[in-house]
Amino acid sequence: MQISRQHPHDWDVSPDEAKQIQRRLASEGRETPLPDTVETIAGVDVSVRDDTAQAAVAVLRLPDLEVVDEAIHRCKVPFPYVPGLLSFREMPAVLPALKQLGTTPNVFVSDSHGRAHPRRFGLACHMGVLLDVPTIGVAKSILVGTPQGDLGTEKGSRVPLVHDGEMVGTVLRTRTDVNPVYVSVGHRCMLDDAADLMLDCSPTYKIPEPTRQAHKLSQQAEA
């Protein structure tokens, strides 16, 4: 996959500088409809062991969700763990992994937040804006925001996730009677479309299949 960074910046920055970069780039994010036909979707996940980050990308074909491409990249962890600054810790490992892909997916989904973030610029936004590709964030826990209303127990139930009066995501039940996931816009998608697509990508498990497969890949030990 060819990568052309739209808004290049340094990764070796202080936490305060990282927050400034997030605030500056957040205005570049766009909410537009997904492509009429989504044929491939890439899940992105990063595992960290000691001082090594292992980024994994799994590309799945819709609608059968068969894995058609994958990539792994390992590198030293470049940034400390700071809540809200996950992208500065993980994106330096993700970008080289994406370059290894033989295909260019239609949509990317990361195990992270998008606009459901204190500065409206989680990892899914950062990846989408840098590469100008459709991205979706799907997280297992809330970073900011409060669910509005009672979430039904049935698969497909959803309620808004609201922070400071703004709808920043959707609380989505992907399995009946199982804890929900938290879907938010990264870049070049609409929230309802993102939630619908993640539901289509969750035929069996709570975690949508693209990020589930990427997580499995990120856990593989180095050969």
pTM, full prediction: 0.96
d(CA 152, CA 156): 9
Sign, CA dihedral 120-123-129-130, equals positive
DSSP label at 51?
A: T
Name residues whose C-beta falls within 8 Å of residue 154's C-beta, 6 or more positions apart in sequence. 173, 176
Whole-number pLDDT of residue 221: 66
Confidence of residue 223 (pLDDT cuts 50, 70, 90): very low
Q: If pLDDT is split at 50, 70 and 90, which confidence band does 78 have?
A: confident
Q: Which residues are CB-contacts of 194 (< 8 A; sequence separation ≥ 6)?
A: 34, 136, 170, 183, 184, 185
Q: How far apart are the first and last CA of the chain?
A: 24
User: Mind listing the pLDDT tens digit for each residue in 199-212?
Assistant: 999 999 999 999 99
Distance of CA 1 to the CA centre of its chain: 18
Spatial CA neighbour of 37 closest among 205, 208, 193, 182: 193
**Residue range 182-198, pLDDT digits in tens:** 999 999 999 999 999 99
- Please state, in angstroms and rounded to a whole number, the distance separating the CA atoms of residues 160 and 195: 11
Euclidean distance between CA atoms 100 and 65, whole angstroms: 20
Q: What is the mean pLDDT of the chain?
A: 96
pLDDT of amino acid 194: 98
Q: How far is CA 10 from CA 7, 79, 133, 154, 212, in A?
A: 10, 12, 20, 44, 30
Strands 107-110 and 135-139: parallel
Nearest to 186 by CA among 143, 136, 152: 136
> Which secondary structure element, helix H or strand E, spans residue 69, and what is its range?
strand 66-76
Q: What is the pLDDT of residues 139-163, one digit of tens each?
A: 999 999 999 999 999 999 999 999 9
